[in-house]
């Protein structure tokens, strides 16, 4: 059978625009939520105004801060809190970690299941099929697109499950996902005003995460017309605004915040609809071993992965559609219609340097890590969508160049 075929799962309600955070209390009321668990980042005070608005609208709230990467144990604590407080809804208000935790708590609080029932690699890996508590996702950073994805990424401490890095137990930890359509929030509210005041490092790491999540689905073996359109627009926005936001902030009334918020949103929709690739195949493994922001890991890996992929395509599949797509990515990033894949690699390297993001060695990656990381990354689900299968020597080359 030929022709275009794809699946595209998105929240039933996505609202974008400045000031739209104010719509959250009414939206929760429309979902019949009367007591909501508010999942925040490490500074729960940032949710005080929203919680006050919820109270004024007749909705009680309980807060769960997520101080770092969401872990299996933190999600268990969140589920216990939601059930003990009889919460009938969840509001994720923060970066990707808060949103992933909120989505996981929402589905598990309804079912009573343990995270290990559903987690890949370290658990049973059973897909989530039962509807969760109504979940509203409000990102306060621009990077992960977690508000529109049907998975939740959790970190382990290396002491759970079996499988994982090195094949003999998780060892030093790993990032793994819960997956299933019920993890999609009922509502995603993307308000660019919430990006004001973000630290430059958060802007840089988040922006590189979003950029990677636009490039990889565009090159993916599962690319489709909808994700292609979103990726093209998102790449233009990221290319013109990420460095500006890092250097000068978001200002007031400008388009930089809207550009990066849309790039993040579109990246989330693209990865949900077309999958990712080798950068994220590595990133999940590396992120479980190092204390490094996910976007910074992607930044270190992106240019080497594009360079090795372009060479692999030229050598083994010169007529592969992804070869032309690599050149198109370069043209979208550089603004030069005749740009080559090599030009795109140079542009990405220059951007990462300008953003001050270091290589993986500065985050703690050592030569001893190379073999187990490559072995685990080669088995990662994201690798399946990469446009060409990379050999083990090519994967080692990418990792060493990213260091």
Tokens 């009573």 — which residue?
112
Kindly indicate the confidence band of residue 170, based on its pLDDT and cuts at 50, 70 and 90.
Answer: very low
Tokens of 225: 């017309």
| pLDDT per position as a tens digit, 332-366 | 999 999 999 999 999 999 999 999 999 999 999 99
- Of the three residues 194, 223, 251, the one that is the final residue of a domain is 194
Q: Are residues 274 and 392 in the same domain?
A: yes
Strand partners for 176: 154
Instruction: With a cut of 90, say whether residue 174 has pLDDT above it.
Output: no
Residue 5 lies in a domain: no
Q: Are residues 368 and 267 in the same domain?
A: yes
Separation between Cα atoms, residue 155 and residue 177, nearest integer Å: 9
Residue 328 lies in a domain: yes
| 3: Cβ contacts below 8 Å, ≥ 6 apart | none
Of residues 126, 81, 127, the one with CA closest to residue 102: 81
Which pLDDT score, from 0 to 100, does residue 69 have? 87
Instruction: With a cut of 70, say whether residue 2 has pLDDT above it.
Output: no
Tokens 């939740």 — which residue?
152
- Of the three residues 161, 194, 227, the one that is the final residue of a domain is 194
Residue 288 lies in a domain: yes
* pTM for this prediction: 0.93
Separation between Cα atoms, residue 220 and residue 387, nearest integer Å: 5
Separation between Cα atoms, residue 35 and residue 55, nearest integer Å: 10
Instruction: With a cut of 80, say whether residue 169 has pLDDT above it.
Output: no
| 45: Cβ contacts below 8 Å, ≥ 6 apart | none
Which pLDDT score, from 0 to 100, does residue 83 have? 97
Residue 337 lies in a domain: yes
- Of the three residues 194, 223, 253, the one that is the final residue of a domain is 194
DSSP tally for the chain: helices H, then strands E:
14, 8
Which domain covers residue 374, as residue numbers?
197-402
Residue 179 lies in a domain: yes
């Amino acid at each position: 059978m030929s022709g275009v075929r794809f699946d595209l799962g998105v929240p039933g309600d996505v609202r974008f625009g400045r000031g739209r955070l104010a719509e959250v209390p009414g939206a929760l009321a429309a979902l019949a939520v009367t007591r909501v668990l508010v999942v925040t980042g490490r500074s729960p005070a940032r949710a005080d105004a929203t919680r006050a608005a919820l109270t004024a609208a007749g909705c009680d709230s309980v807060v769960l801060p997520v101080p770092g990467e969401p872990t299996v144990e933190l999600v268990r604590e969140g589920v216990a809190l939601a059930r003990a407080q009889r919460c009938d809804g969840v509001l994720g208000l923060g970066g990707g970690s808060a949103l992933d935790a909120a989505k996981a708590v929402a589905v598990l609080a309804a079912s009573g299941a343990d995270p290990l029932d559903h987690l890949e690699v370290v658990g049973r890996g059973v897909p989530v099929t039962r509807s969760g508590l109504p979940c509203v996702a409000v990102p306060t950073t621009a990077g992960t697109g977690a508000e529109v994805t049907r998975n939740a990424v959790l970190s382990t401490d290396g002491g759970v499950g079996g499988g994982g890095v090195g094949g003999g137990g998780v060892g030093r930890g790993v990032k793994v996902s819960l997956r299933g359509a019920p993890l999609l929030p009922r509502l995603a509210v993307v308000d660019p005003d919430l990006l004001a005041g973000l630290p430059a490092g958060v802007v840089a790491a988040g922006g590189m995460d979003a950029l990677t999540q636009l490039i990889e689905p565009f090159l993916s073996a599962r690319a489709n017309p909808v994700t292609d359109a979103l990726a093209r627009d998102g790449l233009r926005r990221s290319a013109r605004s990420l460095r500006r936001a890092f250097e000068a902030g978001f200002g007031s009334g400008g388009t930089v915040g809207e550009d990066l918020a849309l790039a993040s949103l579109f990246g989330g929709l693209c990865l949900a609809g077309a999958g990712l690739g080798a950068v994220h195949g590595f990133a999940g493994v590396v992120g479980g071993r190092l204390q490094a922001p996910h976007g910074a890991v992607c930044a270190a890996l992106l240019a080497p992965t594009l360079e090795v992929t372009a060479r692999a395509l030229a050598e083994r599949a010169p007529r592969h559609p992804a070869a032309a797509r690599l050149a198109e990515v370069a043209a979208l990033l550089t603004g030069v219609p005749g740009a080559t894949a090599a030009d795109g690699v140079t542009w990405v390297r220059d951007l990462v340097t300008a953003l001050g993001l270091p290589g993986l060695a500065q985050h703690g990656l050592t030569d001893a890590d190379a073999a187990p990381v490559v072995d685990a990354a080669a088995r990662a689900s994201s690798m399946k969508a990469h446009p060409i299968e990379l050999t083990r020597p090519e994967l080692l080359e990418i990792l060493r160049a990213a260091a």
